[in-house]
A = this chain, B = another copy of it.
Amino acid sequence: MMKSRLVIFTIQQSYMAIRIFITGGTFDKEYNELNGQLFFKDTHISDLLEMGRSKVAVEIRTLMMVDSLEMTDEDRQLIAYQCEQCDETQIVITHGTDTMTDTALILEQKIRNKTIVLTGAMIPIKFGSSDGLFNLGSALAFAQTLAPGVYVAMNGRYFHANNVRKNKQTGMFEEIK
């Protein structure tokens, strides 16, 4: 069994890209200088991967561009469907932090045999001091190394989908128990 695991591992490293699904969230918000509102235009994921000099093979797909407080059940079904259908077994999802753990729980119930890592940002990437680049670096690393399952990667750590909450006072993610 140990041997077969190594074989699978080698295949993943060599032939299989990491799938990145974009859903919006603070991560990709921009400042509209005409009305002073934050809004979505395009994802900045490619800029971040370039800045990080990333050579990880990735397949990027934008599923939606929404504030996670406005994410519907249908949106979450779509995300789950896409995770299930895609060929890749390592998946990173960029997601608003407010309901990231809700989506993680749904994916945990539905998806088997894939390593899914949700991440996001507390500060938009377009701002000077965003945590987005740090989070993306850690999410891609966790996606390459963690066993199949659904995880939240924030604050430099990873959390199992069924044991994580966002502390609304501190903005930090933490274990429930």
Given A136-B134, A144-B157, A156-B52, A124 contacting B26 (CB threshold 8 A): no
Q: How far is the CA of A155 from the CA of B172 in the complex (A)?
A: 27
Q: Which residue of B lies closest to A140 (CB)?
A: B156
Contact of A137 among B55, B127, B156 (CB under 8 A): B156
Q: Tell me, rounded to whole Å, the shortest Cβ–Cβ distance linking A145 to chain B.
A: 4
Chain A interface size, under 10 / 10 to 19 / 20 to 34 / 35 or more = 35 or more
Residues of B within 8 A of A133 (CB): 133-134, 137
Interface flags for A67-78 (1: CB within 8 Å of B; 0: not) read 100000000000
Q: Tell me, rounded to whole Å, the shortest Cβ–Cβ distance linking A54 to chain B.
A: 4
Task: Judge whether A21 is part of the interface by a CB distance below 8 angstroms.
Answer: no
Q: How far is the CA of A130 from the CA of B50 in the complex (A)?
A: 10
Q: Are A56 and B157 in contact (CB under 8 A)?
A: yes
Q: Are A51 and B157 in contact (CB under 8 A)?
A: no
Q: Are A55 and B138 in contact (CB under 8 A)?
A: no
Q: How far is the CA of A78 from the CA of B104 in the complex (A)?
A: 44
Task: Judge whether A7 is part of the interface by a CB distance below 8 angstroms.
Answer: no
Task: Judge whether A153 is part of the interface by a CB distance below 8 angstroms.
Answer: yes
Q: Are A153 and B128 in contact (CB under 8 A)?
A: no
Q: Which residue of B lies closest to A172 (CB)?
A: B55
Residues of B within 8 A of A129 (CB): 51, 126
Task: Judge whether A3 is part of the interface by a CB distance below 8 angstroms.
Answer: no
Q: Are B135 and A52 in contact (CB under 8 A)?
A: yes
Contact of A156 among B49, B131, B146, B173 (CB under 8 A): B49
Binds B, one of A29-37, A80-88, A106-114: A29-37
Residues of B within 8 A of A67 (CB): 36
